[in-house]
Each structure stands twice: as C-alpha cells, then as structure tokens.
Amino acid sequence: MNTFTIVTAVAFCTLHAALPTVSSAQAPSRASPGASAQSAAAVSLKQDMRKLWTDHVVWTRDYIIAAVGDQPDAKAAANRLMKNQEDIGNAVATFYGAPAGQQLTTLLKEHITIAVDLIQAAKAGDKAGQQQGRQAVATERDADRRLPQQSQSELAEGHPC
C-alpha cells in the first residue's frame, strides 16, 4: 500500500471540502414562499453534508493511520467511521426521506467494510484478499456506471448539494 498516495488523497479531499462555495442562501431569491422552505432545507442539507464529509475524511484518515500503524485504537476508529456513515444517511433522510437515507447508509457501510477489509488484507500480505477487495471496488464503480445517463441528469436536477 502506497502511503504517499493515501496521504495525497486525504489532503486533496480535505482541501476540496474546505473550499468556500456560494450557497443558494446567499443568492437573491425570486421563488415563491413554499419554495423558500424547500430552499432553506436544501441549504441546511448542503451545510450538514459539508461537515459530515469533512468528518468522513478525518475519520478515514484516523482509521488508516491507526490500522497501518497497528495502533490499539484502530477498531475504535473503524467504528467511528461506520457511525459517520449513519450520520450521513440520517442527514440525507431529512431531505429525501427515511428510505433514501437508509439505502445510502447501507451503501456507505458496504463501501467502508470493503476498504477496511482491503487494508487488513494488504497489511497481512494476503494477495487473494487484496484481489477480492479490488474486485469489490471495481464492482462498486461499475454499478455507478450502469445508471443511465438520463437518470443521472434527472437525479442531479433536484439535488441540493
């Protein structure tokens, strides 16, 4: 496992999350009062997601450092990272509904489980486990690509973040 690559990726994600953005709350509104409540909910979700994804980067970094360094807090760091996935799903549920939040939580936890297993396999020199982890990552990536382009555009239209 290339530590430089991991550190670079974490640093990039941290910087990207910290960049200021112009939210719809800062733009003049010409919308109806009903749209204003939805807009406020969207702005709130966007702010929550910025914090939660920044936390995600922090907890991921903490886990990687603890796991690679054989630190006694690796299990606690992995548990906290899993809790972050629940937090993200709960935030999404406030805007998109409980089923969407639960589905996202499930997908994110599966993603983290794959990453934790892959790190453990790499540390142990388990080539079969590493291959299985790489295959799981490729399967996730392929699932994203199978969503039709039209569906992706439709999903993005109402997405507040």
Under 8 Å between Cβ of 6 and 69: no
Alpha-carbon gap, residue 25 to 39, rounded angstroms: 8
Residue of 123, 107, 110, 109 lying closest to 74 (CA atoms): 123
Query: 122 near 107, Cβ under 8 Å?
Result: no
Domain boundaries, the chain: 3-17+35-157
Total count of residues recorded for the chain: 161
What's the pLDDT score for residue 161? 54
76: Cβ–Cβ under 8 A, 6 or more apart, which residues?
Answer: 66
Highest mean pLDDT (candidates 73-77, 135-139, 142-146, 151-155): 73-77
Residue 148: is its pLDDT beyond 80? no
pTM above 0.85, yes or no: no
Q: How many helices (H) and strands (E) does the chain have?
A: 6, 0
pLDDT band at 110 (very low <50, low <70, confident <90, very high): very high
Query: Is pLDDT at 106 greater than 90 in this prediction?
Result: yes
The tokens describing 34, both together, are 């009903």
